[in-house]
Chains A and B, each alone.
Chain A
Amino acid sequence: MAESPDQAKEQLLLARSLVSHLESGNEDEAVSVIAELAGFRDSMLFQEIGRLTRELHDSINGFVMDARLADIAQTDMPDAAERLRYVIATTEQAANTTLGAVEDSLPLADSLRSDARHLAEQWARFNSRQLSVDDFRELSAELSHFLSVTESNSEALHGKLSEVLLAQGYQDITGQVIRKVIALVDDVEGKLVELVRLSGHRSRTAGDGPAEGRDVSPQGPVVPGVDKGDVVNCQDDVDDLLSSLGF
């Protein structure tokens, strides 16, 4: 608490008069001087509270005016919700693709298993010479059919498994989108900590300004309805753009 020189001088005078009043036994006078000195203390306390209130007021005003905060409230939060909805849609699509491929694959595997089991029985009968010539002709036709079904089913299974493989790309795409939302949550957390700090009368630190200029920094996957601007929509657009550049 800073005191003006005048105040100090006045306090010194009061203190001296207090001592002389006490030495000469003027109790009433002494009490009134003590009250006067206490009054000094009170007025300085009020001044200090006033100063802190002003500081807090300015800090809160500055905080509310912080453009980043307005951005978060007006743009980033709704964007984050849209991004998370995109994550749900993308993971749902991947799950459906995977489930569909599995549902298509199981009957293919089942038919191979039951055909193989049937043929194994017939083959055992053939080995123990229990098959007639006609039975053998039938087995031979079945074997030949089985081989061609095995080939086509295996090929179909391979295709379905490749679908499942590619569908897992959702983890990369949604992971990048979720990382962006986490960055926003961190940002909001930082702002809240700042707010808590303000209420503890600590000084505010200035936020970083947005970067300027042509931006080729990584943006992550394009989320429909959130990311606007000059983006390509599909591989064909990429190919067109590259061929326009002489590729």
Chain B
Amino acid sequence: MNKNMKILIVDDFSTMRRIIKNLLRDLGFTNTQEADDGTTALPLLQSGNFDFLITDWNMPGMQGIDLLKAVRADDKLKGIPVLMVTAESKRDQIVEAAQAGVNGYVVKPFTAGTLEEKINKIFERVAA
């Protein structure tokens, strides 16, 4: 796995973005950027050559699920692995995210171990 890959962290709570950024740094990923909802994330993704997207679901403006759908519908972006990190835990929602093409789904509150495991799994599959 390329530890220098460019990662976009999308969450409306700045505290959660900091937590994820710090956990990623602990795992050796230092090339991260942040956005506070889908509306600000999408232009960043379109202009920024990102390798990985980590997004919350419930955000004002553009929701994470809509960001995921927009990414999958964009020819340039559709290959980006997407990990959803969210407090949304209804079965219907997880199914919806899976159908929209999410690569991993972590429910909050989560542990550093869970985040690492899901990221590893996503990139094992991408490499395979």
B11 lies within 8 A of A162 (CB):
no
A216 lies within 8 A of B105 (CB):
no
A136 to B2 Cα, complex, angstroms: 47
Query: In this assembly, does A151 line the interface, its C-beta being within 8 Å of a C-beta of chain B?
Result: no
**Among the listed stretches B40-48, B71-79, B110-118, which one makes contact with chain A, having 4 or more residues with CB under 8 Å of it?**
B110-118
**Among the listed stretches A40-48, A60-68, A232-240, which one makes contact with chain B, having 4 or more residues with CB under 8 Å of it?**
A232-240
What residues make up the interface of A, taking CB atoms closer than 8 Å to B?
162, 165-166, 168-173, 175-176, 214-216, 218-222, 229-235, 238, 241-242, 245, 247
Instruction: Identify B98's interface contact among A222, A234, A245, CB under 8 A.
Output: A245
A238 to B106 Cα, complex, angstroms: 8
A166 lies within 8 A of B107 (CB):
no
Q: How far is the CB of A172 from chain B (nearest CB, A)?
A: 4
A220 lies within 8 A of B105 (CB):
no
| Contact of A165 with B91 at beta-carbon distance under 8 Å, contacts A221-B108, A238-B105 already known | no
| Contact of A215 with B92 at beta-carbon distance under 8 Å, contacts A166-B112, A172-B108, A247-B98 already known | yes
A112 to B98 Cα, complex, angstroms: 49
Contact with A along B9-29 (1 / 0, CB 8 A): 001010110110011001000
Q: Which of B87-114 contact A (CB under 8 A)?
A: 87-96, 98, 105-112, 114
A238 lies within 8 A of B89 (CB):
yes
Q: List residues of chain A with CB within 8 A of the CB of B30.
A: none
Interface centre among B16, B23, B110 (most CB of A within 10 A): B16
Q: List residues of chain B with CB within 8 A of the CB of A216.
A: 65, 90, 92-93, 96
Q: List residues of chain B with CB within 8 A of the CB of A214.
A: 92
Query: In this assembly, does B39 line the interface, its C-beta being within 8 Å of a C-beta of chain A?
Result: no
A230 lies within 8 A of B92 (CB):
yes
B19 lies within 8 A of A169 (CB):
yes
In the complex, the chain B residue whose C-beta lies closest to that of A93 is: B109
| Contact of A220 with B112 at beta-carbon distance under 8 Å, contacts A232-B89, A235-B107, A241-B95 already known | no
Q: Beyond A219-B58, A231-B90, A231-B91, list 6 extra A-B contacts (CB 8 Å).
A: A168-B15, A214-B92, A230-B92, A231-B89, A238-B105, A241-B95
